[in-house]
Structure 1
Amino acid sequence: MANKDDALADWSTGFFDCCSDGSSCCLTCWCPCVTFGRIAEIVDRGATGCCVHGTLYCLLGGFTHLGPSVYAWIYRTKMRKTYNIDGNECRDCLASCFCVNVSLCQQYRELKNRGYDLSAGWEGNAHLQGGGATAAPALEGGMTR
């Protein structure tokens, strides 16, 4: 019998709920590299900064249209596994390769709904929570709609 805590959660917002957060929607529309960089920094727990991820995202886009999508796919899967969100690699791939900006918007909203201020970065969130540079926002329980 599975433990109640092992249950997979749903995303806190729907895939196409981009307009529910106009600021992240506009940011992703005009500067997807910034959105991706912020997401990746939080998912990596500050191991690599926003600027590094965002620059690599842009560089990959300069060489091929598929590069940023694959990079986003890797981080969508990593984020989903980190937060125990229902899904699989195939769905992550489809979301990232065919609707990369919509996927990034959903990930951005998810992290915001989990208490992160993505513009503050990993260290900024840790300091906002009073936990130093090694802690993340303290959250209890799973996400609900």
Structure 2
Amino acid sequence: MSTTANNIDPPLNPYVEYYRKYLSSLSSALTSTVGSNVFSFVDEQTSTGIPLTTTTTTTTTTKTSSFSAESYATDTPDEDYPPPSPEKPKPLGPWSTGLCDCFDDVHNCCLTCWCPCITFGQIAEIVDRGSSSCGTSGVLYTLMICVTGCPCFFTCFYRSKMRRQHRLKAEPCWDCCVHCWCEGCALCQEYRELRSRGYDLSIGWHGNIENKQRRAVEMKMMEPVGKEAMTR
């Protein structure tokens, strides 16, 4: 009696079929969510019915959020921040002495009466801030008297320049009229005004600067030592 060998495939392991369906559903779900199949597995059945080791590769997609300063910028209308108002000019102040107060300084009054060129030279050196000397301005004043006989057209410009520097009013009238009618009184008034502001016209512009620097050094040396310790 001959025996016939029948080649019959063994039945599939139910656990293997279960894992195949589970991995297929999980792969489909991740494919629709992430965009690529992140699982690779071996669809193979062993004789023992135990599925082979499944290798899982996970691809992590990092989404970087880019922030720009423009996204946080707020469009604020210009009306909320009005431009700063320009500074108002300081008002003009009065002279320290009047035009006819020549006898407040008798020495200068006599000097201006006999030698107005000296008074004008001293005034011009201070007003020009040392760019011209007392001697040069005095010589020009003398030449104006000898040539034209009316130096007021030259001296009135220095009165205007002095008023602009110290913010003084045009009193009692225009500068040209003051020097044309009362040349000596105008020079005396300008001399007294500079003296009241701390200038020593006898030593010139550079002498006043040296005195100012020397006083500043003396004040610095006279400061108490404890004051620096308290400020720390």
**TM-score grouping bracket, smaller chain normalisation:** 0.7 to 0.9
In the aligned structure 2, how far is the partner of 1:73 from the partner of 1:5? 24
Classify the secondary structure of the residue corresponding to 1:6. coil
Q: 1:34 aligns with which of 115, 118, 125?
A: 118
1:14 deviates by: 0.4
Alignment of 1:86-125 (within 5 A): 86-87=169-170, 91-125=174-208
Shift of 1:7: 1.2
| TM-score normalised by L of structure 2 | 0.53
Q: Distance in 2 between matches of 1:9 and 1:34?
A: 27
Alpha-carbon shift at residue 5 of structure 1 (Å): 6.6
Question: Alpha-carbon deviation of 1:87?
Answer: 1.3
Structure 1 length normalisation: TM-score?
A: 0.83
2:141 is matched with: 57
Report the 3-state secondary structure (helix = DSSP H, G, I; strand = E; otherwise coil) of the residue aligned with 1:119: coil
How far is the alpha carbon of 1:130 from its aligned partner? 1.3
Partner of 1:9: 93
1:118 deviation in Å?
A: 0.2
Larger radius of gyration: 2
Task: Give the secondary-structure state (helix, strand or coil) at the position aligned to 1:130.
Answer: helix
Unaligned runs of 5+ in 1: 132-145
Q: 1:77 aligns to what?
A: 160
Q: Which residue of structure 2 lines up, in the alignment, with residue 44 of structure 1? A: 128
Q: Is there any run of 5+ residues in structure 2 with no aligned partner, and where?
A: 1-84, 215-232
- Give the Cα–Cα distance (whole angstroms) in 1 for the partners of residues 107 and 201 of structure 2: 12
CA RMSD of aligned residues (A): 1.9
Q: Using CA pairs below 8 Å that are at least 6 residues apart, which structure has the higher relative contact order?
A: 1
Output the CA distance in 2 between the equivalents of 1:3 and 1:93: 30
Aligned to 2:108: 24
- Structure 1: which 4+ aligned runs deviate by more than 4 Å? 1-5
SS at match of 1:9: coil
CA distance in 2, matches of 1:60, 1:93: 15
Supply the distance in 1 between the matched residues of 2:124 and 2:95 (Cα, whole angstroms). 17
Percentage identity across paired residues of the two chains: 49
* CA distance 1:9–1:124, shift in 2 (3 Å): same
